Structure 1
Amino acid sequence: MSDADDLARTREFFAARAADWERKFPDDGPRFAAAVAELGLLPGQSVLDAGCGTGRALPLLRQAVGPQGVVLGLDLTPEMIVQAVRTGRGEPAALLVGDCARLPLRTAAVDAVLGAGLLSHLRHPVADLAELARVTRAGGRLALFLPTGRAALAARHGRTLSPADLAAEPNLRRALAEAGWTLERYADDEDRFLALARRAG
């Protein structure tokens, strides 16, 4: 399948679910707040929510960087961005429709990146993680987050964990290193997955 076909299928999948997306996951708020806190954002900094979906993390990111900071939310699916606007989450952030593999941002534009649920949608993991590194300043941080553990997520989809899974610690550490990141913390608990990395350089 070509990248264009894969993008179209991803858009179609999420477009059909955008209106009801948050009703499916009503209890994720505290886990999103904890993931944002782990980024260690400071007032006045800039942050990208890559694959922001309906924007659940955007108010939390705005609170962390304060009124002088910059919050960007980017998602591949226009319908998700529409939902973010409808819920008032366009107010604390600039919202963009775009592909995380080709970010419409200048080099070293942000201090940090949040990628909630992003890992499983990276078509070319090393290249895509390198694109996130490109737009992040040296020393900046990346949080790859899921509001559930890998085992629970796999069970939900009727599969078991594989050693080849990108999110397995050795694989993710290697991919991040090749892309210009250093993995600093890895947690795969029952109720959340969080990998924190720092931009090399």
Structure 2
Amino acid sequence: MAHDHTHVREFFGARAADWDARFPDDGPAYAAAVADLGVRPGDAVLDAGCGTGRALPPLRDAVGPAGTVLGVDLTPAMLDAAVRAGRRSDGRLLLADVARLPVRPAALDAVFAAGLIAHLPRPDEGLRELARVVRPGGRLALFHPLGRGALAARQARRILADDLRAEPNLRPLLAGSGWRLESYADEDARFLALAVRQG
């Protein structure tokens, strides 16, 4: 487990400083995905694997001053970059493992997770932990500002049949972790899977 985390930390730690500069046009896509998550004023939401905190401003806008926004990431350099970007005012930033969250069961209304699932050492455990902290009927958004094809093209690789984000793989993975896949979009300009916490 430690080995996996070291790799994730090194990968994102090395990229944290210029992460936002590399992807400057993603803001509207994040805001649109948060809108589709259907968060309401007063809700408690988690940005799981928040990175530099790009989703925190739209999440804060959605829940309003009475709501709660948590941003959790495993990489200190990413959270440092979020603080430098002024995002501490949008949510509480926590250094923690998404697979072991310091959050009470059923405490949250929704989880937003951008680019997370590909980086979980054990995706089923991570998704089960996210289910633990969300109330029945609460929602999960698995988001990426590029669809699978566009992302593969950018990384000069093929999409593999065992890609977790492929709908035939993702649906049972979610179902086995306490979620029901509600909608699935894999377009050039975004990937967005929305799921509901099963009671």
Q: TM-score, normalised by structure 1?
A: 0.97
Give the counterpart letter for 1:26 in structure 2. P
- Matched-pair identity in %: 64
2:163 maps to 165
1:120 maps to 118
Give the counterpart letter for 2:88 in structure 1. G
2:172 maps to 174
Work out the CA distance in 2 between the residues paired with 1:115 and 1:133.
Answer: 13
Work out the CA distance in 2 between the residues paired with 1:158 and 1:27.
Answer: 21
1:8 to 2:26 alignment:
no
Give the counterpart letter for 2:62 in structure 1. A
1:84 to 2:82 alignment:
yes
Work out the CA distance in 1 between the residues paired with 2:62 and 2:3.
Answer: 37
Work out the CA distance in 1 between the residues paired with 2:11 and 2:122.
Answer: 19
Partner SS, residue 195 of structure 1: strand
Among 27, 41, 44, which residue is 1:43 paired with? 41
Work out the CA distance in 1 between the residues paired with 2:161 and 2:45.
Answer: 32
**CA RMSD across the alignment:** 0.7
Instruction: Give the length in aligned residue pairs.
Output: 199
Structure 1 residue ranges, 4+ long, deviating more than 3 angstroms after superposition: none
Offset, 1:162: 1.6
1:26 maps to 24
Offset, 1:127: 1.4
Among 146, 149, 152, which residue is 1:148 paired with? 146
Offset, 1:82: 0.8
Work out the CA distance in 2 between the residues paired with 1:158 and 1:92.
Answer: 35
1:102 maps to 100
